[in-house]
Chain A
């Protein structure tokens, strides 16, 4: 079975400080993992994805994530938060043989304090 656990429902950081959004996954097969961002009243936008190549994945807007198989984690980081980063972030797992479905976490709301 596939599932994703986002460990924090809400994260607050000060502008200019690092961001860490945590995600653990469960998958019976080698997964693909994605991070999407959702700004208010906007659609989901892909930040980055892991598909069994390099374990450190760089995405848009300075975000990156590291796939750690031993820890079944795919945490999202950014060195310095910007006000425009305030949004809802979703971790997603997908795996071959399970209808290629996306399984979403419940989301982490990021607040950036000026």
Chain B
């Protein structure tokens, strides 16, 4: 089966510009996650969707970050305006059922963002 797809793979922007990342989860997976992975750290959850509803966005910096999953399939994460500290790898993951604590999450290759 096809894995989690993400694009673009790399992005370089200047601070205060906007950027958007796209994710297409594994077919049939109801739960979708966006993570931020800063160099030298483990991934940190930004937002979790179940179908097209938000389950948890408590760690999403809502003044500059937004995300949507309108049809319950693919998702877009946007940053506007970007700051230097947003330089990181943005990972998308999906899981098949309700996103329960025992479920495996399947990760995409990530988008590496550099903010200059």
Chain A contacts to B: CB under 8 angstroms: 4, 31-32, 34, 36, 41-46, 49, 51-52, 90, 92, 94-96, 98-102, 104-107
Contact = CB atoms under 8 A, between A and B. Distances in A.
Q: Do most interface residues of chain B lie in helix, strand or loop, or is the interface mixed?
A: loop
Given A41-B109, A42-B109, A46-B104, 16 more contacts: A32-B102, A43-B107, A43-B110, A44-B91, A44-B107, A46-B106, A94-B102, A95-B101, A99-B58, A100-B48, A100-B101, A101-B45, A101-B56, A102-B105, A104-B44, A106-B41
B104 A43 contact: no
Contacts of A34: 104
28 contacts: A4-B42, A32-B101, A34-B104, A36-B107, A43-B3, A43-B108, A43-B109, A43-B110, A45-B107, A46-B104, A49-B104, A52-B102, A90-B42, A90-B43, A92-B42, A96-B101, A99-B55, A100-B48, A100-B99, A101-B48, A101-B56, A102-B33, A102-B43, A104-B43, A104-B44, A105-B42, A106-B40, A106-B42
A49 to B, nearest CB: 6
A96 B100 CA distance: 7
B102 A99 contact: no
Contact of A102 (B4, B41, B45, B58): B45
Interface of B: 3-4, 33, 40-45, 48, 55-56, 58, 91, 93, 99-110
B48 A99 contact: yes
Given A43-B110, A101-B56, A107 B104 contact: no
Nearest to B109: A43
A102 B55 CA distance: 14
Nearest to A104: B42
A99 B104 contact: no
